[in-house]
Amino acid sequence: MTRLHNFCAGPAAMPTAVLERAREELLDYQGRGLSVMEMSHRSPTFEAIAAKAEQDLRELLAIPDNYRVLFMQGGATMQFACVPLNLLGNGGTPNYLDTGIWSTKAIKEAQHLATVDSPLANAHIAGSTRDSGYVHVPRPDEVSLSDDAAYLHYCHNETIGGLAYDYVPEVRVPEVRVPEADVPLVCDMSSSILSTPLDVSRYGVIYAGAQKNIGPAGITVVIVRDDLLDRAMPQTPSLLGWKVYADNDSMINTPPTYAWYLAGLVFEWLKHDIGGLAEMEAINRRKCEALYAAIDSSDFYANPIEPANRSIMNVPFTLADESLNATFLDEAESAGLLNLKGHRSVGGMRASLYNAVSEADVQALITFMQDFERRRG
Ligand SMILES: *Cc1c(COP(=O)(O)O)cnc(C)c1O
């Protein structure tokens, strides 16, 4: 059996040790005589799996006690709707930072709700770097909230653009019409959660689809400060309401049990095999720094993002001669380097270096890129 080098943007590489453990337990979970995917989600065995996954995630991220951890479905995209539905019940204007494709999708979803319900959902763009082609994030002094801000939403790591924040945006409103504490910071961390340690207490809500750094597709983690659970718009469908999940241990209906179990195995892997998020960050920094160094030291490859805002997880790059793109991808695949094609909306290449991508995988990519340049450059 050969496992190739997988740079997919999502669903992404899983740690081999996690897949091996899942294989061992696939037919008979710890002597129970059945698979986790065949168990009732109300069984004590599954309840223990679910509770342990939450506990391990809490430890990894040092999540304070006044935050609830929800396991939902629908991906990050469903949270684009959940955020306004759950936070606009008391009125106010949703505020958004725009740094690329994913933050734009979140903004569109909030604007869409305006036609369903109220003009409150006319999102205020508190900062955007669209005009400069999204090669950096708004500087802190370029972020300007509306004075009735209900929340400030941003995307920490733009998976397609390869652009990430190097600071946590402020949620201070200049005219103190709304107390600072009332403007929760809401963050889409789908492609960066668990890649570094995180100060959860700076946030009101953090959410992430699983299929980048958490586990397989099909489950979505939402971390929400408990005082924000009573702000939902009244028409929020119950399956989109965070409070319903908080009140029912995320089992309002049948949860994606097997994805939940696999996410738990990934959390265990991060704790025990990697040694926690500080160690994970050190590995991730070595990975991306090696790849950016290889790109920057060549005239054949280029990455447009300003160094301070380069993503540690997603590294897009272009070839000086775009007519070689297809050849590059073909030869990469023959060398066992998979899923390097850039997103269809931007073209070029993209290497996603999520937690399960090893330093050896990245080294194999760099060696291939240097060899390709020597032969074709
Ligand atoms: C992948 C991704 C999404 C979309 O996730 P789905 O689970 O497909 O809805 C949203 N935001 C970011 C930053 C992503 O990387």
Convert the pLDDT of each residue in 175-219 to its tens digit.
Answer: 544 444 568 999 999 999 999 999 999 999 999 999 999 999 999
CA dihedral over 306, 309, 315, 316, signed as positive or negative: negative
7 lies in some domain: no
308 lies in some domain: yes
Q: Up-side HSE of residue 101: CA atoms within 13 Å toward CB?
A: 9
Round to whole Å and give the CA distance between 292 and 63. Answer: 32
For residues 224 and 171, state if they share a domain: yes
13 lies in some domain: no
Round to whole Å and give the CA distance between 208 and 193. Answer: 7
2 lies in some domain: no
Q: What does the pLDDT read at residue 180? A: 45
For residues 213 and 336, state if they share a domain: no
For residues 303 and 252, state if they share a domain: no
Distance from residue 38's CA to the centre of ligand 1 (Å): 28
For residues 243 and 333, state if they share a domain: no
DSSP 104-115: HHHHHHHHHHHH
Q: Whose CA is nearest to atom 7 of ligand 1?
A: 75
Q: Up-side HSE of residue 341: CA atoms within 13 Å toward CB?
A: 10
For residues 237 and 289, state if they share a domain: no
Q: Whose CA is nearest to atom 3 of ligand 1?
A: 76
176 lies in some domain: yes
For residues 262 and 288, state if they share a domain: no
Give pLDDT tens digits for 364-377.
Answer: 999 999 999 999 98
> Measured from the CB, is residue 109 less than 6 Å from ligand 1?
no
Containing structural domain, residue 40: 21-271
Round to whole Å and give the CA distance between 217 and 74. Answer: 9
Judge whether 276 and 60 are in contact, CB under 8 Å.
yes
> Measured from the CB, is residue 101 less than 6 Å from ligand 1?
no
For residues 65 and 131, state if they share a domain: yes
Round to whole Å and give the CA distance between 234 and 231. Answer: 9
User: What pTM, to 2 d.p., does this model score?
Assistant: 0.96
Indicate if the pLDDT at residue 294 is higher than 80. yes
For residues 281 and 267, state if they share a domain: no
Indicate if the pLDDT at residue 288 is higher than 60. yes
For residues 264 and 352, state if they share a domain: no
Average pLDDT value for residue range 36-42: 98
8 lies in some domain: no
Burial class (CB in 10 A: 0-12, 13-18, 19+), 175: exposed
For residues 35 and 65, state if they share a domain: yes
Judge whether 188 and 155 are in contact, CB under 8 Å.
yes
256 lies in some domain: yes
Cα torsion at 229, 232, 238, 239 (round to 10°)? -70
For residues 219 and 247, state if they share a domain: yes
Q: What does the pLDDT read at residue 8? A: 98
Q: Which of 271, 306, 321 is the last residue of a domain?
A: 271
For residues 243 and 216, state if they share a domain: yes
List the one residue out of 288, 313, 338 whose CA is nearest residue 214.
Answer: 313
> Measured from the CB, is residue 159 less than 6 Å from ligand 1?
yes
What is the tally of structural domains in the chain? 2
137 lies in some domain: yes
Q: What does the pLDDT read at residue 120? A: 63
Give pLDDT tens digits for 330-343.
Answer: 999 999 999 999 99
